[in-house]
Each structure stands twice: as structure tokens, then as C-alpha cells.
């Protein structure tokens, strides 16, 4: 059964619920219909529940001004367009569009009030499946078209949290949905720099200082971005101080394929990431500063976001980032835990 409890009152006065999913192995996922946020993910390692995502037990922690101003997006569903759009601008045919810019000169993660701040309609599909739905009206954050989105969270008995995305539109619109959890697999509270990470790709997006793509894919060989062989996050981080980069797999796939794995410093818990998306944004969390009752600081977690490429609508060679009327947007990401 999925347990449903009250989680607080949203800024608009609506009641918000928390949905608790449990599998037969003792794994537990807690999801709220405010922003579709995964607030907690407990893994039963050696008979003890281990919290592996950064999150809060109180809705106010997600809605207060201080938290929002720091832009951590803990555990949230991101849309209409995840990651960055250069200057918030794009063109459809002969018409130019200007989105709200909420990260300096650029649009980030859906704008001033993205999907992470919306109340989603929740529907329990089974003992292990929760469906969240949101319809974004034409013109929201200056995006064209009415976009209807469904996201299904499924907790399997194979210790896998699956996230399935589907959307349709009545006008051509940019789209890039993702899930923004920060992971920390350690048994005791500590940073993620000693975590071991492997990413199965030869390429990373070329970006400028604002993390806007130039349109090219760069090879990771002989660079600090080479995670093709598992290494700690901190091994080569000194040169950069922080990872915030999109690793590229070139194409989407119809079925999820393994693209990365993350292991705690004691090699007691591994998380595999399987996805259909063509990209994986790695953010090592240097600028995390969030929480009042439960405080999280720099490198408290690592975000590994399966998604499309940033600014894809402005790069025809990326060949994605758009949804047209009559099409169905479908993507899936699975987080599989091995212990």
C-alpha cells in the first residue's frame, strides 16, 4: 500500500500530501505532490535504513524565501525546460520568444515558477506506482502551448526507483523534463567527494563560463571529465573546484540503458543509473546552502540528472528539445540500488 499523509500548506493555500511507497525488500520512497519532490529515499543496507537523498521533513523547508533564493531544487521534478536556455530566447518559425530569466541573463529549470513549485495532481495506480500530473497553460513562463505532463514514480521489488515521463502539447514548445535529486550514499553524514563515480560516455558538451553550450561535443579522454573508469569525485576536482557539466550520449534510446554508477566511499552501496535520455548533468554540489532545521552545505550531495542537453532548442544539431502537436514525449530514468 501507498501511505498518504498531510505534508503542509502550500504558499497558495492548497493542502499538500506526502506519499510513501515501500517495496517488499524494505526500500522506501517518500514523494510529495508539491513539485513532485522526492523528499526521502531509504535503502535497507545491512539491516539499517540509509537515507540516500537530500531532503526535508517539512514543506516550509521547500517553500521559504531563503531556500528558494539558493536554488537547490532538492528532489524536484523540473520543467517545462530543465537546465539553461541562453538569454531565455528561442525562435519558432519567424516568431521570437523571450522566457523569464531567473539565473542572471539566462533561463534555468522552468523559470521563476517552474514545475518544481507546482501542485501536481496525484493518482495511486498500484501499491508501488504513483502518477503525478500537471497541465502547464499556454503562456506560462512565456512558453507557447498547453503542455500536459504525466510522471509515474514506480518502486520495484528489485530495489529500483523508476521515473517515467510523458507529455503532449497543442503547440510546438521546448521541453526538457528531469528529476533533480541530490544523492549521498554514505552511512554517516559526510560529503560526497570520496564517492566513486563512473559515466559511460566519451563526450561532454562544450560550454562557456555561464554553462551555455557552444554546440560541440568534446572528448573526455585525458581531461578531468574522464569518468569512463570509476574514480572518486574529488580525484580531479581541484582544477575545476566543482563539476557542473553535461555528459553526452549523443542519442536518446527507446529503452533505458546503463549510463552511470555511483558507489559510497566504503563500497557498501552502489546506485546504477539507467535512462533513455541523451544527456547526464553532473553537479557536485559546491554551492549547496540549504535548510534550517536540517542543514546541508557544500558537497553534501551530488546531483546526477538524466535529461536532454541544455539550450537544445537553439542548436539544430542537437536534434531534440522540442515537442510538436501530435507527438508524445516519452523518457524514463531508473535508479537501481545494489548492496
Number of domains the chain contains: 1
Q: Decide if 195 is catalytic.
A: no
Q: Decide if 106 is catalytic.
A: no
Reported as a single tens digit per residue, the pLDDT across 219-247 is 999 999 999 999 999 999 999 999 999 99
State yes or no: 136 annotated in a binding site: no
| Domain of residue 172, residue span | 3-338
- β-pair type (89-92, 48-51): unpaired
State yes or no: 40 annotated in a binding site: no
Reported as a single tens digit per residue, the pLDDT across 125-179 is 999 999 999 999 999 999 999 999 999 999 999 999 999 999 999 999 999 999 9
Q: What is the CATH number of the domain that holds 271?
A: 2.70.98.10
| Bridge partner list, 335 | 161, 273
State yes or no: 33 annotated in a binding site: no
**pTM score of the predicted model:** 0.98
Contact status, residue 288 vs residue 296, Cβ threshold 8 Å: yes
Distance CA 240, CA 231 (A): 16
The closest of 101, 177, 105 to 142, measured between CA atoms, is 101
Which is catalytic among the residues 180, 195, 274, 320?
Answer: 180
* 252 prior amide bond cis, ω within 30: no
State yes or no: 180 annotated in a binding site: yes
State yes or no: 283 annotated in a binding site: no
Helix (H, G, I), strand (E, B) or coil at 302: strand
Which is catalytic among the residues 261, 274, 305, 320?
Answer: 305
Amino acid at each position: 500500500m501507498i501511505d498518504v499523509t498531510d505534508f503542509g500548506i502550500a504558499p497558495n493555500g492548497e493542502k499538500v500530501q506526502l506519499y510513501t511507497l515501500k517495496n517488499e525488500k524494505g526500500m522506501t520512497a517518500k514523494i510529495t505532490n508539491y513539485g513532485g519532490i522526492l523528499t526521502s529515499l531509504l535503502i535497507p543496507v545491512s539491516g539499517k535504513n540509509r537515507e540516500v537523498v537530500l531532503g526535508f521533513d517539512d514543506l516550509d523547508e521547500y517553500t521559504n524565501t531563503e531556500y528558494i533564493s539558493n536554488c537547490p531544487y532538492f528532489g524536484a521534478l523540473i520543467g517545462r525546460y530543465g537546465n539553461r536556455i541562453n538569454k531565455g530566447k528561442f525562435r519558432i518559425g519567424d516568431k521570437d520568444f523571450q522566457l523569464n530569466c531567473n539565473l542572471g541573463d539566462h533561463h534555468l529549470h522552468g523559470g521563476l515558477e517552474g514545475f518544481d513549485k507546482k501542485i501536481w495532481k496525484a493518482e495511486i495506480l498500484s501499491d508501488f506506482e504513483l502518477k503525478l500530473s500537471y497541465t502547464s497553460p499556454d503562456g506560462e513562463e512565456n512558453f507557447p502551448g498547453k503542455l500536459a505532463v504525466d510522471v509515474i514514480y514506480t518502486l520495484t521489488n528489485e530495489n529500483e526507483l523508476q521515473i517515467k515521463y510523458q507529455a503532449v502539447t497543442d503547440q510546438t514548445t521546448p521541453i526538457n523534463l528531469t528529476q533533480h535529486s541530490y544523492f549521498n550514499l554514505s552511512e554517516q553524514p559526510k560529503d560526497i567527494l570520496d564517492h566513486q563515480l563512473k559515466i559511460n560516455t566519451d563526450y561532454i558538451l562544450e560550454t562557456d563560463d555561464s554553462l551555455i553550450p557552444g554546440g560541440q561535443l568534446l572528448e573526455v579522454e585525458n581531461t578531468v571529465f574522464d569518468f569512463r573508469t570509476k574514480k572518486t569525485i574529488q580525484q580531479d576536482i581541484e582544477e575545476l573546484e566543482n563539476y557542473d557539466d553535461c555528459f553526452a550520449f549523443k542519442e536518446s534510446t527507446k529503452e533505458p540503458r546503463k549510463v552511470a554508477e555511483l558507489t559510497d566511499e566504503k563500497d557498501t552501496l552502489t546506485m546504477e543509473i539507467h535512462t533513455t535520455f541523451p544527456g547526464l548533468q553532473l553537479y557536485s554540489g559546491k554551492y549547496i546552502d540549504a535548510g534550517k532545521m536540517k542543514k546541508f552545505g557544500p558537497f553534501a550531495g551530488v546531483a546526477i540528472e538524466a535529461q536532454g542537453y541544455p539550450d537544445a532548442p537553439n542548436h539544430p544539431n542537437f536534434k531534440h528539445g522540442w515537442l510538436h502537436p501530435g507527438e508524445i514525449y516519452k523518457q524514463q530514468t531508473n535508479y537501481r540500488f545494489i548492496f
